[in-house]
Structure formats: structure tokens, C-alpha cells
Amino acid sequence: MTSANRLARTRLDPLQPHLLSPEWREPDIGIVHLGIGNFHRAHEALYTEEAMLARGGDWGICGVTLQGDVSKRDALMAQDGLYSVVERGPDGERVTVVRALREVLAMPFDRARLFELLADARVRIVSLTVTEKGYCRDATTGDADFSHAAVVSDLARPDEPSTVPGILTAALKARRDAGMPPFTVLSCDNLSHNGAALKRVVVSFAARLSPSLAAWIESHVAFPSTMVDRIVPATANADRKAARDALGVIDDVPVPCEPFRQWVIEDRFTAGRPAWEVAGAQLVDDVAPFEIAKLRMLNATHSTLAYLSMLAGFETVSDAVSHAPLRTLIHAMMTHEIAPTLDVPASFDLLAYRDALLDRYANPALKHRCAQIAMDGSQKLPPRILSTIHACIAMGQPFERLALAVAAWFMFLRGQTDDGTRYTISDPLGERLTQLSLSAGNAEQLVDAMLGVREVFPEALANEKALRASLIRGVRLLEGGTRPAIERYAEMR
């Protein structure tokens, strides 16, 4: 097909069966989203389009990539911001064209346009999916990481920011100075208490520039916390083919995902919001119980599957849970180690949630690669797994399987599977962690070296003798082969 056959707003009439509704009014931009990845496009953007179709409002989205790579911007803008969501489940495949994305920018090339939008009163929400590392957060203090080179640069040149705290602080300062109301800052990342965490990062950054600005942000800007859930793999050529076959036109940037989705939001917005509840979002006073349950039940087991699978040679999550011992291990981890640490509303059936998660993991149509989930472990393990181990220790609960997940991460950092196949480590601390892992002569040395990494292990947790012993046992068993170790832990009572 030629470029004339590319997805475009002028070519939507023949695609009515793939639209949420034939009715559509092009909205003004009301949301700027930092981190225009697959997850946002299969989640918040879809909820937002459904909300506008049901209740109206100018909530068009401008997506911003912060990586300095213009390819995502150019591919989406070549399609007028349109893309398709390829939803795959037990009942088959559905392809939906999404229209809520109105513009895409790439930092630092479109800095002027970004700040023009952030200073526009019609923009009332700035949302984010930038992953844990995108917050430039000191995991020990919760403040901005003032040793981070990009943070140092932003403080030196606050009018040319590149980081999340730098961008938000500069934009909020401009609105305050102009006498404008602030926008709401809405984190949609898998970070514990994500709204409060992001607020602390931004306020601490702003305080280095202006205590009065920090005080204004503290008292005037809403940072609601959220819990998001949908399995959204990276786009593959098979997804592009599926979109082309269904639509009859080229879509270079389709998004594959599962049918399930969930969004729980604290209902605290300073200047309004889309009617996301009509699209199925839950608006609540306190998101914490939902967020912690998801972080520990889904994200922790996802990471466990990823690191054990990378060593054992399972390529996708569905491959991993089709291995009966590994499925049994994950089932037992959720039942005996994670669920007892959770305090959820009576209406939240944790065991039903467990079973639903296992069914979602087993969906073979998604092809969710374990290598994708395994990225950035130094950022993901503390909120997902280490916080759960800490809770287990405090409650006197077992945590051997959770410790095995951490031990598997230690072994994963060596960069090769049990059969010697090499893979690349993608982690902000990757080079240092890999060197520590490779230089350790035995299980004790490996565990002690890793427990000494303060960016990952708080001192109090690192000094827990029971944890150290469990990690050493896990490493020793994994050194004898990951699949035998999985079988051993699956049989554990």
C-alpha cells in the first residue's frame, strides 16, 4: 500500500465499524500527556474518547515524548494523531480507531509549543506515564534526585527543562505568574501513592528555585493518585498486519492489548475533568487499597515471571504460566505471601482477583514479552516486591517465593539464560549492577553485594537476617538450574 492509503482523519468514513461512534466533534486540547507510549494510548486516551462521546467537553490530548526521539511523533502525526487499538482476548480480536489524540510533540525539539500549551487555560490536566525512572526521584528521601545530571541541568537552566519535575515546575510557575489557575497533575504510573510521590518530587525541586513557588504548588495544585491496569505489550509487525487487514489502510503505530482494563482515580481536580466514570473508571476518595493490591498481586508477580522466565528461557508471559510448576508457584505466592499483606474493601475478592490475573497471564494472543517486563528492575522491585517482603516481615508472614523473585533478578543481571543465551540489561543502574553480579564468587557474596545497593535496598531491610538467608537459598537453587528451582518452590508448603 502507498502512503495515500495511510490512516487519516479524511479517510474515516469507510471505517465506521472500527470507530467507537460515528458521532465526533474535534475537541480542543484539554490534556497534555507526558510519555506518549503504548499504555497511555490503550488506556487513558481510550477512556477519554469514550467520556467525550458520552458527555462532551474539550479534552483532546496532546501527547509528548520526552526521549528526544522524533519517530513516535512523526509516525503519529503522519496519521493525524490517529492509531488503532488491537484488542485480543478469548473471544477473538477487535480493532478500534482512536481519535482523542490531537497532537504529538517531541522534547526538546518542540519545547516552545509544549510550553505554549501548558500556559493555555484550556489545558486543565497534565497526565503522565513516564515509568518510575522518569520521575528523577531519590528513592531514599522521596525528593527529586539532586545528584541526577538532568536535574542538576534543569536547576541551572530552569527555562530549558528536560525532566518531569523541571517541566512541571516551569509550567506551573508560568501559570502562577500570569495569575492563571494551575492544571491538575495526574500520574498514571505504577508507583506507590503516585500522586503524592510526584507532588513531593515537584515541590522539592521547586523549593530549590523558589520557596514561595514551592509553597504555592503545595497549596494550590492537585496531584490525585491513580491505579491503572491493562496489559499492553510492545507493538510488533504482527500488530501492524492485524490493523492493516482489519482497516484496509496502513497504521504504523497500532497498540496491542488485552480486553481487561481498570482505572481507579482519586476525585480531586482543580479545573474539571472528563466524565471518565461513564467509561468505567472508578472515582474514589482513596486509591491506596486498590493501588497496593495491584502493585503486589499483578506487578510483583509480573516481575517474578519476567526474571524467572528470562533465566529459564520462556519468551512470553503466556509461555511462562503454561509451565505448570511456574503457574503453581505464582498461584501460591499470591495466596500465601501477598494476599495476607493486603487490606482491601470487603467487596474486593482477592482470590477471585488472583484467578482472574492468572487467566489474563495465560492469554496466548497477547505475546507479552518477558524481556519488556524485566526492564528497569532497580526501579520496579522496591515498590512491587521489596515493599511486600517488608510487609511480610512485619506481619510474621512467609516470603520465600518473593525472595526467589529477588534472587532471580540478581541472577538475571548477569545477562544470560541458563543455556548461555545472552541478552541485554536495560536498567538505569544496569552497568553497575551487572558488574556486581558478575564479580561475586558465590551466593553469599552476590547477595551481600546486592543488599549493599542503597538505591534499591533500604538499610533496615538489607539488615534483615531472614531475608539474607532466603536470598542465599534462592541464589543457590537457581545456580543449579532455574526450572528445577521453580519446581522446588512450587512444591513448598
Q: 102-114, pLDDT tens digit by residue?
A: 999 999 999 999 9
With 80 as the cut, is the pLDDT of residue 93 above it?
yes
Residue 485, φ and ψ in degrees, nearest 5: -65, -40
What pLDDT does 139 receive? Answer: 84
User: In this predicted model, what pLDDT tens digit does every residue of 448-467 receive, in sequence order?
Assistant: 999 999 999 999 999 999 99
* E-only strand ranges, 66-171: 83-89, 92-98, 101-106, 125-128
Query: Which amino acid is residue 51, in one-letter code?
Result: A
> What is the percentage of the chain residues whose pLDDT exceeds 70?
99
334: closest CA among 363, 369, 293?
293
How many angstroms separate the CA atoms of 324 and 332, rounded?
A: 12
pLDDT category at 1 given cuts 50, 70, 90 is: very low
CA atoms within 13 A on the CB side of 487: 6
In b/e form, how buried is each residue of 469-490, taking b as 16+ CB within 10 angstroms?
A: ebbbbbbbbbeeebbebbbbbb
Contacts of 168 (CB under 8 A, 6+ apart): 126, 185, 202
Q: Domains in the chain and their CATH numbers?
A: 3-284 (3.40.50.720), 288-490 (1.10.1040.10)
Cell numbers standing for residue 200: 513531593
Positive or negative CA dihedral for 141, 147, 150, 152? positive
Mean pLDDT, the chain, integer: 96
pTM above 0.85, yes or no: yes
Mean pLDDT of 203-231: 97
When pLDDT is averaged across residues 395-403 and rounded to a whole number, the result is 97
Q: Stretch 57-66: mean pLDDT, rounded?
A: 98
Instruction: Identify the band that residue 347 occupies on the pLDDT scale cut at 50, 70 and 90.
Output: confident
Asked if the model's pLDDT at residue 420 lies above 50, the reply is: yes
